[in-house]
């Protein structure tokens, strides 16, 4: 159950924040009939399955099942809780959030965590510039960072003691539990808080609104783990953020450079490449790829040249391409990372790195070079191995012209006719499409009969009733004025599935008020997953014209199925009564 917000406020909020306008600022949408369609921002896909329905103020992805209203869209895309999303939308249009006599403890805790993070960042930065931080400062200077760069990024030092920060924050009035919730402290065996980070140089992680949301701490030796990052908190989800995007998004450059580590990014910014960003200690995620796509159309991957870096590059290419980005891959000579490369050339470092950027090839060329490096093109077996791998790679491309161009290059490299290469590519492309179609059909079959319905597990056992219930719910969202009449004929207890019963009871109760009820008006009652299920119901019935006679038929089906269900229950009850009677007889004989 989310925080209840007055219905009139929600009505105005959704009127002034159209879902079409909000979603279009994050997703490239195209008109399709009365709705819009685009690539889903919540999962990795090549074919658009994200649908927006302005008439109902809802969205639904037929690929991953994410759905809801404008509030749940903002919750997902910005990683906010319910009330934060409401406030986000209210602030956007200058609306004052009403006073709510409710428990807002989670919101207040998140605000306290952000305060703690800000004060922690200041504490670490002060320590770095004090005599107690000389080892940390020496490390940064030895890595070639200038004082201005250190200040710009707010870098710091966690002293080699386990209670320096805890004592400081306690003196400012923060509780032990708040520090642990912020993950700047951990609990000892004795139950006392102690500093999570110690004897490490510190990198504050700042979100796009300027909040310090987390920290990365690096050892100055070979101690493991080299990097220690804040765990997920109420204010931070590592799969959503990107280091230095708060600076890079304002660089004015046409591309972003995706580096592997914090030091690489900072060194690049210092060298004039203020469009550099990095992940947060984990492999690139779908959410991060979508976030990047909001700020650029081209990404240059500048990961380390070691095996782990190459593996991470392959994953990043797939994710970045899937969100429509042009991807290039920068190869740093001699296995160096960007930071090492720039420092190794002294004053010429930035100019040399710029040359590497200009020479970087696109991701297809990079992956073909990787394949070629593993094959002996002088031998027939090696040539076949290379051609098969290349054809598999090119079969994954959606652009026919790209396939044709690279098939021509393969022909020149290997002496094999281009037409023969294209035949193999087309064969593999067809096989891939057929495999995907079979997968989608199996998924459709399972969803149709309710096998994968986690929100409404009753659907599997009461398939006919559940479909009628869903159709009736969709009808009521389109015909609020019929709610009172339909509920008089069909009380909620006549529904066969528990989830649909909850939805039906909730919307018909709210429709008594006379306000037009949509998904936004129930977004405080249902969880994100449940709201997605309701959005799915609306999406599946969006193009179906339903009249009053159809609604009457749905009611008839539901009542008929409920009668059967009651009869089955009676039979089971009678059977149980007989078993109980026999059990009592046995007891009497004893």
Interacting residues of 499 by C-beta distance below 8 A, sequence separation 6+: 455, 456, 458, 530, 533
- Percent of the chain at pLDDT above 90? 57
Q: Which residue has the higher pLDDT, 588 or 386?
A: 386
Confidence of residue 78 (pLDDT cuts 50, 70, 90): confident
| pLDDT at 113 (0 to 100) | 95
Q: Give the residue from 39, 67, 92 where a domain finishes.
A: 92
CATH number at residue 462: 1.10.860
What whole-number distance in Å separates Cα of residue 352 and Cα of residue 340? 12
Interacting residues of 451 by C-beta distance below 8 A, sequence separation 6+: 445, 460
Across the range 564-580, mean pLDDT stands at 62
Identify whether residues 355 and 465 lie together within a single domain.
no
Give domain status of residue 586, yes or no.
no
Give domain status of residue 388, yes or no.
yes
What whole-number distance in Å separates Cα of residue 6 and Cα of residue 20? 23
Across the range 436-451, mean pLDDT stands at 58
Across the range 245-268, mean pLDDT stands at 94
Do 71 and 82 touch, CB atoms closer than 8 A? Answer: yes
**Three-state SS at 65:** coil
Give domain status of residue 97, yes or no.
no
Q: Give the residue from 69, 92, 115 where a domain finishes.
A: 92
Both tokens of 507, joined, read 């919307």
Across the range 220-236, mean pLDDT stands at 89
Give domain status of residue 4, yes or no.
no
Identify whether residues 266 and 351 lie together within a single domain.
yes
pLDDT tens digits along 132-164:
999 999 999 999 999 999 999 999 999 999 999
Both tokens of 321, joined, read 């391409």
Structural domain for 355, as ranges: 245-361
Across the range 22-29, mean pLDDT stands at 91
Is the pLDDT at 391 greater than 60? The verdict is yes
Across the range 13-21, mean pLDDT stands at 92
Least confident of 12-26, 102-116, 208-222, 423-437: 102-116
Identify whether residues 297 and 328 lie together within a single domain.
yes
| pLDDT at 144 (0 to 100) | 94
| pLDDT at 138 (0 to 100) | 97
Task: Indicate the helix (H) or strand (E) that contains 167.
Answer: helix 164-171
Q: Which residue has the higher pLDDT, 335 or 229?
A: 229
| pLDDT at 545 (0 to 100) | 75
Give domain status of residue 84, yes or no.
yes
Identify whether residues 443 and 461 lie together within a single domain.
no
Give domain status of residue 504, yes or no.
yes
Identify whether residues 437 and 467 lie together within a single domain.
no
Identify whether residues 117 and 87 lie together within a single domain.
no
Confidence of residue 225 (pLDDT cuts 50, 70, 90): confident
Confidence of residue 53 (pLDDT cuts 50, 70, 90): very high
What CA–CA distances, in Å, run from 548 to 55, 476, 491, 537, 539? 20, 10, 17, 18, 20
Least confident of 32-41, 125-134, 137-146, 566-575: 566-575
Name 229's bridge partners. 216
Give domain status of residue 296, yes or no.
yes
What whole-number distance in Å separates Cα of residue 240 and Cα of residue 451? 31
Burial of 326-342, coded b for 16+ CB within 10 Å and e otherwise, reads: ebbbbebeeeebbbbbb
Identify whether residues 220 and 117 lie together within a single domain.
yes
Mean pLDDT, the chain, integer: 88
Is the pLDDT at 570 greater than 60? The verdict is no
Identify whether residues 133 and 45 lie together within a single domain.
no
Do 368 and 390 touch, CB atoms closer than 8 A? Answer: yes
pLDDT tens digits along 318-350:
899 888 899 999 988 877 889 999 999 999 999
Residue 422 CA, chain-centre distance (Å), reads 36
Identify whether residues 169 and 111 lie together within a single domain.
yes
Residue 112 CA, chain-centre distance (Å), reads 25
Across the range 276-286, mean pLDDT stands at 90
Across the range 36-63, mean pLDDT stands at 90
CATH number at residue 62: 3.90.580.10
What whole-number distance in Å separates Cα of residue 50 and Cα of residue 60? 6
Across the range 455-474, mean pLDDT stands at 91
pLDDT tens digits along 410-419:
999 888 899 9
Identify whether residues 68 and 113 lie together within a single domain.
no
| pLDDT at 84 (0 to 100) | 86
| pLDDT at 90 (0 to 100) | 93
What whole-number distance in Å separates Cα of residue 238 and Cα of residue 579? 56
| pLDDT at 186 (0 to 100) | 96
pLDDT tens digits along 538-562:
998 887 777 889 999 999 999 999 8
Relative orientation angle of helices 528-540 and 463-478, to the nearest 10 degrees: 80
Name 37's bridge partners. 30, 51
Is the pLDDT at 516 greater than 60? The verdict is yes
Both tokens of 103, joined, read 């428990």
What is the dihedral sign for C-alpha 453, 458, 460, 465? negative
Identify whether residues 124 and 204 lie together within a single domain.
yes
Identify whether residues 497 and 537 lie together within a single domain.
yes
Instruction: Work out how many domains the chain is built from and give that number.
Output: 5
What CA–CA distances, in Å, run from 300 to 235, 248, 316? 29, 13, 10
Task: Indicate the helix (H) or strand (E) that contains 90.
Answer: helix 82-92
| pLDDT at 80 (0 to 100) | 85
Q: Give the residue from 229, 256, 282 where a domain finishes.
A: 229
CATH number at residue 139: 3.90.980.10
Is the pLDDT at 489 greater than 50? The verdict is yes
| pLDDT at 1 (0 to 100) | 46
């Amino acid at each position: 159950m989310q925080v209840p917000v007055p219905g009139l406020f929600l009505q105005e909020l959704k009127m002034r924040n159209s879902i079409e306008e909000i979603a279009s600022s994050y997703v490239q949408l195209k008109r399709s009939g009365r709705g819009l369609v685009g690539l889903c921002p919540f999962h990795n896909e090549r074919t658009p399955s994200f649908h927006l329905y302005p008439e109902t103020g809802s969205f639904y992805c037929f690929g991953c099942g994410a759905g809801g209203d404008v509030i749940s869209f903002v919750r997902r895309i910005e990683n906010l809780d319910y009330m934060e999303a409401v406030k986000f939308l209210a602030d956007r249009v200058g609306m004052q959030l009403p006073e709510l006599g409710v428990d807002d403890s989670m919101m207040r805790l998140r605000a306290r965590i952000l305060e703690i993070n800000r004060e922690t960042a200041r504490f670490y930065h002060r320590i770095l510039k004090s005599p107690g931080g000389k080892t940390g400062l020496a490390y940064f200077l030895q890595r070639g960072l200038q004082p201005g760069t250190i200040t710009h990024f707010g870098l710091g030092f966690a002293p080699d003691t386990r209670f320096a920060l805890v004592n400081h924050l306690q003196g400012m009035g923060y509780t032990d539990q708040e520090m642990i919730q912020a993950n700047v402290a951990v609990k000892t065996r004795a139950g006392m808080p102690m500093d999570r980070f110690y004897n490490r140089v510190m990198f504050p992680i700042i979100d796009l609104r300027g909040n310090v949301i987390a920290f990365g701490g690096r050892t100055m030796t070979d101690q493991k783990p080299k990097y220690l990052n804040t765990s997920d908190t109420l204010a931070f989800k590592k799969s959503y953020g990107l280091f230095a995007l708060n600076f890079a998004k304002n660089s004015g450059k046409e591309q972003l450079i995706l580096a592997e580590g914090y030091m690489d990014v900072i060194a690049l910014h210092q060298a004039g490449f203020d469009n550099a960003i990095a992940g947060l200690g984990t492999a690139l995620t779908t959410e991060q790829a979508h976030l990047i796509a909001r700020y650029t159309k081209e990404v240059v991957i500048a990961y380390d040249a070691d095996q782990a870096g190459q593996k991470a590059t392959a994953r990043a290419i797939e994710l970045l391409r899937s969100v429509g980005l042009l991807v290039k891959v920068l190869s740093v000579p001699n296995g160096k990372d960007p930071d090492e490369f720039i420092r190794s050339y002294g004053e010429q470092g930035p100019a040399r790195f710029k040359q590497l950027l200009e020479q970087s090839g696109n991701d297809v060329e990079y992956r073909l070079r990787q394949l070629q490096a593993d094959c002996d093109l002088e031998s027939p077996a090696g040539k076949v191995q290379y051609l098969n791998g290349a054809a598999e790679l090119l079969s994954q491309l959606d652009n026919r012209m790209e396939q044709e161009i690279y098939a021509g290059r393969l022909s020149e490299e290997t002496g094999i006719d281009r037409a023969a290469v294209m035949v193999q590519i087309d064969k593999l492309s067809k096989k891939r499409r057929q495999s995907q179609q079979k997968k989608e059909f199996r998924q459709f079959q399972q969803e149709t009969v309710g096998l994968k319905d986690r929100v409404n597990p009753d659907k599997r056992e009461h398939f006919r009733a559940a479909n009628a219930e869903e159709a009736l719910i969709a009808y009521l969202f389109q015909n609020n004025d019929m709610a009172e009449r339909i509920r008089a004929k069909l009380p909620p207890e006549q529904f066969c599935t528990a989830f649909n019963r909850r939805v039906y009871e909730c919307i018909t109760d709210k429709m008594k008020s006379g306000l037009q009820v949509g998904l936004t008006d129930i977004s405080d009652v249902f969880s994100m997953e449940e709201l997605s299920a309701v959005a799915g119901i609306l999406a599946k019935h969006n193009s179906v014209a339903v009249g009053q006679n159809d609604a009457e038929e749905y009611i008839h089906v539901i009542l008929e199925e409920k009668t059967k269900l009651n009869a089955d229950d009676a039979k089971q009850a009678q059977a149980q009564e007989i078993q109980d009677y026999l059990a009592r007889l046995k007891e009497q004989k004893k």
